A and B are shown apart, each in its own frame.
Chain A
Amino acid sequence: MDTLNEFYHVLIFLIVAVLFTIVPIVVAYLLSPRSLGDKTNTTYECGIEPFGGAWIRYSVAYYIYALIFIAFDVDVLYLFPIALSYTKGSRMFEFYSLLIFVSLLVLAIIYAWGKGVFTWKRRIP
């Protein structure tokens, strides 16, 4: 049961985080006047009715950005426990393992850079 004591802090953190988002919404719902017009809930497009729908086919360059984002998001999962246990053991081991990990990721970015994922050239028709 001793080990569970530390998790009380996490529980309080979780509750405060949820309240932080919900309380302003509830307060605004209770205290605000409402005004509804004909066009209040339409999409904002500089005052004009939008042409056509919003679900369109888009180019594959966005997909590549999403892939790179996912890869880096997942490696943050590895970095969190390393950051917590950084000062607990002998520091050299953590430092070198972190260095190798991050340099492998940087290699991925350099490859993407060389392949031209980050430059969007002007397309002349």
Chain B
Amino acid sequence: MGKGGFHLETKDPIIKFAVLDKILNLAKANSLWPMTFGLACCAIEMMSTAMARFDIDRFGAGIFRATPRQSDLMIVSGTVTKKMAPILVTLYEQMPGPKWVIAMGNCAISGGPFAFEGQYNLVEGVDLLVPVDVYVPGCPPRPEGLLEGLMKLEEKITGSRRFPTPEQKW
């Protein structure tokens, strides 16, 4: 797998001031274009989220690009094995900035049900490879869970939440 994961040098934009930042962040948050990185079972729930019932397109994130060059959100849905790890890092580096990562499902968070003693082929969590912004737990998480993860990511980018948090009943 190699030592560590990705290697990235970032630079700030040439023109940068507060009001422009706010406008641009609003634009970025409301039009996140995900990259289809469906690895395993969580990919089917991601596809369900993109379909008619739990439409993710109404939040602006409905255009799933296959190529990393035109996407800015990588939803890692599924188990990352050691054979797949270099490919994930390459694809992450090929995405242009600014970019975000959602780790969807237990396998992407920490190895999931496959982390047992004596395992030889699992990367226990995608945050060992790339920096993750939002974790969505579940095996697989419901589509509403993924939408809540998207809301959290929008909150992280803009600073304010689009819909109010549902009230805690317990």
Q: Are A and B in direct contact (Cβ within 8 Å)? A: yes
Q: Which residues of A are interface residues toward B (Cβ below 8 A)?
A: 29-40, 42, 44, 46-48
Asked whether, in the complex, the Cβ of B24 is within 8 Å of the Cβ of A31, the reply is yes
CB of B6 within 8 A of CB of A37, answer yes
Of B12-20, B109-117, B143-151, the segment with at least 4 beta carbons within 8 Å of chain A is: B12-20
Q: Is B105 an interface residue (CB 8 A)?
A: no
Q: How many residues of B contact A (CB 8 A)?
A: 28
Cβ of B88 within 8 Å of any chain A Cβ, yes or no, is yes
- Do residues B90 and A39 form an inter-chain contact, with CB atoms below 8 A? yes
Secondary structure of the A side of the interface? loop
User: Do A33 and B20 have beta carbons less than 8 Å apart?
Assistant: no
- Tell me which residues from 39 to 96 in chain B have a Cβ below 8 Å from any Cβ of chain A: 67-69, 86-94, 96
Whether A30 touches B94, Cβ cut-off 8 Å, given contacts A37-B6, A44-B67, is no
Residues of chain A lying within 8 A (CB to CB) of residue B10: 33-36
* CB nearest neighbor in B for A40: B93
CA distance A39 to B67 in the complex (A): 14
Residues of A within 8 A of B89 (CB): 39
Inter-subunit contact B93/A38 (CB<8 Å): yes
User: A29: which B residues are within 8 A, CB to CB?
Assistant: 14
Contact B11 A33 (CB under 8 A): yes
Which chain A residues lie closer than 8 Å to B94 at the CB level? 37, 39-40, 42, 44
Identify which of B7, B11, B14 contacts A30 (C-beta below 8 A).
B14
Q: What residues of chain A lie closer than 8 Å to B159, measured between beta carbons? A: none
The 9 A-B residue pairs with the shortest CB-CB distance in the complex, in nearest-first order:
A37-B93, A35-B97, A47-B87, A34-B11, A39-B93, A35-B10, A39-B90, A37-B8, A30-B15
Q: Is the CB of B7 within 8 A of A37?
A: yes
